[in-house]
Structure formats: structure tokens, C-alpha cells
A and B are shown apart, each in its own frame.
Chain A
Amino acid sequence: MWRAGMVFVAVAMFLSMASPSLAVAAAKGPHSLPPELQARYQQLTGELRCPVCQNETIAVSQSRIAADLRRIVRERLLAGDSNWQIRDYMISRYGLFAVYDPPVVASTWLLWFGPLILLAIAAAVAFAALRRRRRLLASSDDAERVSRS
């Protein structure tokens, strides 16, 4: 009896691990997506920014609007929209604010190229300082030589 129970438990564990269809069946519900869309759903909701709690993605936010945005992403995926169509829809409603990696347009030039400009300024300052130092060292060498001779 005890032995039969163990066998049953072992078989049940094996089945639950071995069969992905069981896992999917467990995830089924009113909000489920077909497996081929689930990865895209995760990716999109992880890239879109919650407009209320502004430092969270809509994937993790608990706010009402984030829940509604997740539902819209799900519905549009099911309707066959591409990731870009869904992103563009969000941008058309909330502006570039809606995405965590905004496209390169005039208003985001500073965001994208600002660090490069800062790097260039820092490099120019460092270069000028080095050259100045070298010239000072060279002139003090000259001075030494003059004083010794």
C-alpha cells in the first residue's frame, strides 16, 4: 500500500516535470496567451513604461492603468499586431515617455549623444592638460641643463 503510494507520487512528479503541456494547462485561464505569444508578451510589457508609477514597467506595476495596458498588449498580440505596431500605439497615446529605449529623434538627441559629447569634452581637457604638463616638464629639463652647463 505504502509502496503503491510512492510509485504514484513518483509517476505524478515525473509527469509534472516531463510534460510541458501540463504546465501550460495550469497557466490557462481568462488571461492566458498561446505559448508562441507569451515570450513577446513578456518582452513588450517589460519594455513599456508605466505612466503612473514612472520607474516601473507595465509588467511589474500594480496600478490600474498598468493592468489595462497589459490587457491591451495581450489583446493586440492576439489580434496579430507586430511588436512595433504595439509600441507605436503606446507612443501615439503616451508619447516617447511610454518606452524605455526611445528612438533617435530630434528631441532625444541629447539623451543619446550627450554622453558622447561629455566624453569628447573630457578627452579634450585631459589632452590639453597632458600636453601642458609635458611642455612644463620639457622646459624645466632645459632649465636644469642650462643651469648645470
Chain B
Amino acid sequence: MKRKFVWAVIPLLVLAVLVAVFAFGIDRDPRAIPSPLIGQPVPAFSLSTLNAPDAIVTSAELPHRVLLINVFASWCASCTVESEALDWLAKQGVLIYGLDYSDRRDYARAWLEDWGNPYEKVLFDPQGEAAVAFGIYGVPETFVVDASGRVRHKFTGAISVEAAKKKVLPLVRKLEAES
């Protein structure tokens, strides 16, 4: 009698474990790759800017304050969706650097005229060297960098205005309060 009870309970236990695993996993995005960069200094890069092909900007020259580094491109459809949120963040005084990935200067300039330019500076990365150093796998992606130059958070995909208000700006303000 006791043995029968054990054999009846084991499948239920297995089921319970599976349900727990699936419940934990169902909201997770299998395409999201956790960034090993979180907590690390901004990866070293040396790029020209979109408007000044001869001027080189390096990661060491980033200002010592909280800023966003937004990876975008003129060929990226969801970047047009994101532009509204970035404009709003720029209006709140958030410093945003653009990283124009795998693009042409003339295309990117025309795109910024069409969709607005919220960027303090646009770094031009046609070969994707900096993009790979940042470990990007899609466009757009947005890195939040603190005043000491460490990557603190990464947003993948287009940021909505709502997400900008509820997540990005509070995080920026929190990091600003830290420094």
C-alpha cells in the first residue's frame, strides 16, 4: 500500500518540477543574450564621427557623466519607431551618443534629417568593430553608461516612449544620483 502511494506521487512530483521550469521560462526571451559587459568599462573604440570623417573619437574621450550609447542605422526599420523616445529623452537632458552601425555616411545623414537627431555625437562604425566590441547582435540596442564609464544596463530592441519614461529615465536619474 505504501509503495503504491510512492509510485503514484513520483509522476506528480516530476510534473510539478516541469511546470515550475516552464513557468519560469515562459516569459524569458530565448533570443535575448545576457551581456557580459554589464559592470565592465565601456569597450575601447576609436571611430570617426558621422560629420567629421577626419576627427577620431576614442572611448577614453567620453564625458564623465551618465550617458546612453544608442546603436542605430539608416537601414534599421525599428530605429524609426525608437526615434520618438530618444527625442523625448534628449529633451529631458539625457546625453545620448549614437553609434551608426554598418552604414553609409550619406544614408545616415539623410536618415537623421528625416527622423530627427537626438545625438550629442554620432560615432560612425561602418565595419562594425565597435559594434562587436559592444557585443551587439541587433539594431537598435542602447547601453546605459555611468559617470565612471561603466556599462550598467543594456536595452535591446526599440525603446518605446513609455519605456523611456518608466525605465530609461528613472535609471539615468538613479545613476546620476550615485555619482
Let me know if B137 and A64 touch, CB within 8 A. Answer: no
Let me know if B33 and A94 touch, CB within 8 A. Answer: yes
Q: Looking at the complex, which of B44-52, B81-89, B127-135, B166-174 is the stretch in contact with chain A?
A: B127-135
The answer to whether residues A93 and B135 also contact, given A64-B102, A68-B102 and a CB cut-off of 8 A, is yes
Let me know if A93 and B132 touch, CB within 8 A. Answer: yes
Q: Give Cα distance in the complex from A92 to B36, angstroms.
A: 6
Q: Give Cα distance in the complex from A92 to B30, angstroms.
A: 20
Q: Give Cα distance in the complex from A102 to B132, angstroms.
A: 20
User: What residues on B are CB-neighbors of A91 within 8 Å?
Assistant: 36
Let me know if A94 and B36 touch, CB within 8 A. Answer: yes
Let me know if A52 and B138 touch, CB within 8 A. Answer: yes
The answer to whether residues A65 and B137 also contact, given A95-B34, A95-B35, A95-B36 and a CB cut-off of 8 A, is yes
Contacting residues of chain B (1-60) with chain A, CB-CB under 8 angstroms: 30-31, 33-37, 43
User: What residues on B are CB-neighbors of A37 within 8 Å?
Assistant: none
Among B33, B127, B137, B138, residue most surrounded by chain A Cβ atoms (within 10 Å): B137
Q: Give Cα distance in the complex from A109 to B62, angstroms.
A: 39
User: What residues on A are CB-neighbors of B136 within 8 Å?
Assistant: 65
Contact of A69 with B by CB under 8 A: yes
7 extra interchain contacts, Cβ-Cβ under 8 A, other than A51-B33, A65-B131, A93-B135?
Answer: A51-B137, A52-B138, A64-B102, A68-B128, A72-B129, A72-B132, A94-B137
List residues of chain B with CB under 8 Å of any chain A CB: 30-31, 33-37, 43, 101-102, 127-129, 131-138
7 examples of A-B residue contacts, CB within 8 angstroms: A64-B102, A65-B137, A72-B129, A93-B132, A94-B135, A95-B34, A95-B35
